[in-house]
Structure formats: C-alpha cells, structure tokens
Amino acid sequence: MPAGIVESGLSQTPRNMEIFSEYFKKEHLLSKVDARLKLIIALTLLGMILSYKGFALPLLVTALCLLLCLKMRIPLKVFALRFSQPLFIISVLLILKVLFSGKDILFFINIFGVNIVGHKDGLREGLMIGSRIIGAVSIVAVMGFSTPFTEIMAALSWMRVPKGFIEILMFAYRYIFVLLEDAMVIYNAQKNRLGYSGIKKGLNSFGTLTGSLTIKAFEHSQNITTAMIQRGYDGNMPMLKHKPFSIAEITVSILIVAAMGVVWKI
C-alpha cells in the first residue's frame, strides 16, 4: 500500500476518535469527583428515570446534564453525534406509537384510499418513553464525558462486577482504536482507487472493508492471547487503587439523589 495512503489514514484517525470521551477530556467540574460516587449517582438516576411515569424528572435530568456538558466545554459536533442515534430511535418510536397505538383520535387523513389515523394517547405514551430514553442517554453521556474509561472500570471492580466482564470491556476498548485505525487505512485506500464512485462499487468496497476488519479482529485476538499467556497472565487484572471517600463529595451526592428522589415522588 502506498505510504501516502497510510499517512492519510493515520492523519484522519484522531478526528474520528472525537466520538470517544478520552480524546477531549480536560480539567472540569466533575474531573476530580470520585468515579465510584459518579457511577452510583448515575445508576440511581437511571433507575429513577426508567421507573418514573411522567415527563418532569427525565426532562429535568436532561436539562441538568446539558448544563454540565456546556460547563465541561464538550464540542457541539461530538455532543450532536452522541445524541443523533437516540433521537432517531425516539422519532421512529413516536411515529409507531401515534399511528398504531391508542384510542383517542388526534387526526385522520385519507391518502389515495388509505386511512391514516393518529392517536393522542399514543403520542403521549411515545413522548413519555422518548423522554426516558433521552434522560438516560444524557446521564450516560455525562458519565462518559467526565470520567476516564479506566476509572469507570475500577469503579465497576469496586462494585464487585465479575472480573470476566471487566476484562472483556478493557480489551474491547483497547482494540476499538486499533480497528478504527485499520478501517481508516483501508477506507482511504479504497477511496483513492475510486472504490466508492458508484452504488455497486461502494457496496462491494464496504463488504471488502467489513470482511478485512473481521479477519483483523480475529488476528488481533489471537495475537493478544498468545502475548499475554507468554507474559504470565493468569486472569487477574490489577485495577486502580481507590482513595478514601471525601465527606464533601458524599454530602453533595446525597443531596443530589435526595432532590431527584423528591421529584420522582411527585
């Protein structure tokens, strides 16, 4: 493969890494907060949102998360990308709920002999589910933006999550960037050879790219397994050492959960 193509792929990799939190993480309001407390608060709020029947709590949590993201100076492009898929899912959900769920008629349209009926209660139910989705995604996004991945894994280990699950997550996270780099090199090589100049060529090139990445994933898994066995890996992965909890952080965490609990009860 020509050196220029390789360099092109490598030079574009950092910009694609912006979808991951580690790339733009800096000092901010939540960077010094213990990851264990952030994880406990996040899981508690997720439980409240998923069990809440209404709009107030999910919308309040979403607004607070947006303010925190602004305080952390998260790039708008990254923020929009992170929420694009949940918003698409919510849009599809609303359409399905309005058209196929409910009894109270909101509108009635006849198009070429086909009756299209929208339901008011279906719209309300769809908006309620959609608010839960966007609220939950906001919590996960803030958690990811404010906490390094290794600290999240250490917090999960402290919460007695099975070691096998943490091990898989660590290796998957490590090789996301390796496979992303491989994908960019292959994609740029195909693009420079007009591999995406038409629909048919584009589909063939995409199939080749997918197959190549699958083979590379198996190769990386075999190589890392062999390398770690040769280095005496016994399945025990050392995690970060935790510092003692701060009284101030615990107090603030309790107040936040209590405040959200009051809204949840209303």
Question: Percentage of residues in the chain with pLDDT exceeding 90?
Answer: 22
pTM of the model: 0.76
Q: Report the pLDDT averaged over residues 65-72.
A: 86
Residue 18 pLDDT exceeds 80: no
- Residue 11: band (very low, low, confident or very high) from pLDDT cuts 50, 70, 90: very low
DSSP 8-state class, residue 196: T
Q: Looking at residue 31, what is its pLDDT?
A: 78
- Domain spans of the chain, in order of start: 1-23+149-235, 26-147+245-266
**Which are the contacts of 233, defined by CB distance < 8 A and separation ≥ 6?**
none
Q: Report the pLDDT averaged over residues 97-112.
A: 84
- Residue 93: band (very low, low, confident or very high) from pLDDT cuts 50, 70, 90: very high
**Which are the contacts of 41, defined by CB distance < 8 A and separation ≥ 6?**
253, 256, 257
Q: Looking at residue 94, what is its pLDDT?
A: 92
* DSSP line for 159-177: TT--HHHHHHHHHHHHHHH
Residue 16 pLDDT exceeds 80: no
pLDDT tens for each residue of 109-158: 888 878 888 888 889 999 999 999 999 999 998 888 888 888 888 888 88
Do the Cβ atoms of 42 and 143 come closer than 8 Å?
yes
Q: Looking at residue 47, what is its pLDDT?
A: 93
Whole-number Å distance between alpha carbons of 35 and 37: 5
Whole-number Å distance between alpha carbons of 211 and 186: 11
Identify the weakest region by mean pLDDT among 43-47, 79-83, 180-184: 79-83
| The pair of three-digit structure tokens given for residue 156, joined into one six-digit string | 């999960």
Residue 2 pLDDT exceeds 60: no
